């Protein structure tokens, strides 16, 4: 027996909607929607109709690659991290916290692609057309080839994709706000997200239209919806940062057309997001190297090196249990390194509060920051500033040894290009630091006796 579903049909205009509403979304008439039970058309039945020709095996070398050349997004830096721009038929998932700038960036891309002479369709389930036009005017991306539709039904754009000249780019903002007639429930639930994404990706691949999907994130920072959503798309991009800061980090987590774990730094400006071409020292800000408790780490995210300030404050505690706080990194890393310093350097942190953070609102997961974090804590503990142009990187193990980290040559080359010195790092050669004991001897004297103890 065929599956049945319940839909609501307007008695005035004949439009149907999967949910009851007081007002018809098409003709705006009130109290005209009546429940109707219809047979559901399954996707398996649709696919069987063209199966003999569409799924016939063919040699890969005989497959035509005509029309598969990528086109630019209007931002050269974004084209570089994506691999080679936007590939026709590709599906790219953009995730990020609310208000981080996802819609702003994608509207900029849509306007740039439209300005290059290609048709672009922007589907919004969150904003009205008036709101979209106002935002496009502020960004300066209004163009006759930039089309927009505001709807909550994904089927409303299928006629455009199946037309003789489908758009080169489809922006779906966002996948959690749309519904599909093939699934039950409210927008945003697992069934609806899966159905919407499956329908859109399948039809865009057949039409040769690149699609940019906007996805919401959970409170833990993960993409909302089923994990299947990340496997269905070709590229997964995350837009990160603090909404109270001016910078945004675009991180490529998955990419079938180029390298993953690439990083791009944006700066929020009046006309949208602007690319920071050289973020090497962007996160240092106006730091004062004469102050104690600060150290510079040459961090690497993807293949891009940049200098970041690590800050620490060691002060006398008035609590029964001293406080340990870390911002911008895993606080467990701070606990581990403090235990190593107490064991290997015979320091007493039992009467002091220790606070540490990454400067500029940055968040690091690079294991190479261990050595800089140790140096910042010791600098604040002894109240002695590090050398003005000192830079450090290296992973500290539980025995107090400094171990090599990935991209050592890239870090070393970037430190030399920026004129840093002394450069303290693991391994061999000039500037090599084998243990935290050697680090303390080089920076604060061989005796290791504190010149100033905050616990006194």
pLDDT of residue 37: 66
Binding-site members are: 96-103
- Angle, CA 424 vertex, CA 367 and CA 305 arms, to 5°: 55
The CATH number for 69-275, chosen from 3.30.230.30, 3.40.50.10330, 3.40.50.300, 3.40.190.80, is 3.40.50.300
CA–CA separation, 227 and 420 (whole Å): 43
pLDDT of residue 122: 94
CA–CA separation, 362 and 288 (whole Å): 18
pLDDT of residue 226: 66
pLDDT of residue 182: 84
Domain range annotation of the chain: 4-41, 69-275, 294-444
Cα separations (Å) of 314 from 221, 354, 363, 439?
Answer: 30, 5, 21, 18
Given CATH 3.30.70.270, say whether it is the number of domain 294-444.
Answer: no
List per-residue pLDDT tens for the chain, 456 residues long: 445 567 888 877 778 888 888 888 888 888 888 887 665 554 444 444 444 455 678 888 887 777 678 899 988 889 888 888 899 999 999 988 888 888 999 999 999 999 999 999 999 988 899 999 999 999 999 999 999 999 988 988 888 888 878 999 999 988 989 998 888 888 888 888 888 999 999 999 988 999 999 988 877 667 766 677 888 899 999 888 777 777 888 888 888 888 777 888 888 888 888 888 877 778 787 788 889 999 999 998 877 888 999 999 999 999 989 999 999 999 999 999 999 999 999 999 999 999 999 987 788 889 999 999 999 999 999 999 999 899 999 999 999 999 999 989 999 999 999 899 899 999 888 889 999 999 999 998 854 444 444 444
pLDDT of residue 430: 84
pLDDT of residue 44: 44
pLDDT of residue 46: 43
Q: Which two tokens stand for residue 269?
A: 């400006």
pLDDT of residue 39: 53
Compute how many other C-beta atoms are within 10 angstroms of the C-beta atom of residue 375.
Answer: 28
CA–CA separation, 135 and 214 (whole Å): 17
Binding-site members for ATP are: 96-103
pLDDT of residue 172: 93
pLDDT of residue 335: 96
Q: Which residues are CB-neighbours of 149 under 8 A, at least 6 positions away?
A: 121, 122, 123, 124, 129, 156, 157
pLDDT of residue 258: 81
Q: Which two tokens stand for residue 73?
A: 């997004």
């Amino acid at each position: 027996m065929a599956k049945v579903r319940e839909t609501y049909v307007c008695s005035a205009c004949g439009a149907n909607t999967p949910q009851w509403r007081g007002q018809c979304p098409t003709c705006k008439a009130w109290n005209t929607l009546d429940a109707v039970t219809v047979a559901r058309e399954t996707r398996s039945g649709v696919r069987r109709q063209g199966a003999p020709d569409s799924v016939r095996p063919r040699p890969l070398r005989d497959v035509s690659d005509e029309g598969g050349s990528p086109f630019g997004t209007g931002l050269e830096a974004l084209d570089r991290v994506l691999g080679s721009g936007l590939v026709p038929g590709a599906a790219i998932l953009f995730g990020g916290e609310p208000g981080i700038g996802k819609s702003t960036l994608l509207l900029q891309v849509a306007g740039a692609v439209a300005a290059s002479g290609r048709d672009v369709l922007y589907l919004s389930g969150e904003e009205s057309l008036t709101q979209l036009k106002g935002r496009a005017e502020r960004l300066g991306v209004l163009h006759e080839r930039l089309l927009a539709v505001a709807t909550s039904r994904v089927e409303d754009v299928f006629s455009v994709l199946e037309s003789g000249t489908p758009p080169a780019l489809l922006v779906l903002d966002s996948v959690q706000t749309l519904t599909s007639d093939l699934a039950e429930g409210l927008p945003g639930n697992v069934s609806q997200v899966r159905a919407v994404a499956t329908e859109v990706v399948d039809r865009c691949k057949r039409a040769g239209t690149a699609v940019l999907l906007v996805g919401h994130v959970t409170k833990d920072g993960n993409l909302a919806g089923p994990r299947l959503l990340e496997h269905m798309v070709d590229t997964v991009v995350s837009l990160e940062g603090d909404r109270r800061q001016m910078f945004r980090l675009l991180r490529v987590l998955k990419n079938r057309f180029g390298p993953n774990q690439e990083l791009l730094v944006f700066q929020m400006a009046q006309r949208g997001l602007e690319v920071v071409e050289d973020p090497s020292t962007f996160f240092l800000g106006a730091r004062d190297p004469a102050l104690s408790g600060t150290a510079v780490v040459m961090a690497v995210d993807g293949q891009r090196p940049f200098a970041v300030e690590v800050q620490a404050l060691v002060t006398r505690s008035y609590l029964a249990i001293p406080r340990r706080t870390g911002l911008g990194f895993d606080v467990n890393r701070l606990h581990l390194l403090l235990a190593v310093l107490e064991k290997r350097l015979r320091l007493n942190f039992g009467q002091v509060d220790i606070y540490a953070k990454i400067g500029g609102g940055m968040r690091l997961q690079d294991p190479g920051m261990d050595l800089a974090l140790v140096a910042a804590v010791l600098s604040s503990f002894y109240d002695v500033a590090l050398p003005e142009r000192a830079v450090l990187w290296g992973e500290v193990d539980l025995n107090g040894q400094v171990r090599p980290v990935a991209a050592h040559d890239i870090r070393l080359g970037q430190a030399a290009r920026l004129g840093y010195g002394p450069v303290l790092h693991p391994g061999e050669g000039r500037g090599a630091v084998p243990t935290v004991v050697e680090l303390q001897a080089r920076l604060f004297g061989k005796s290791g006796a504190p010149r100033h103890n905050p616990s006194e």
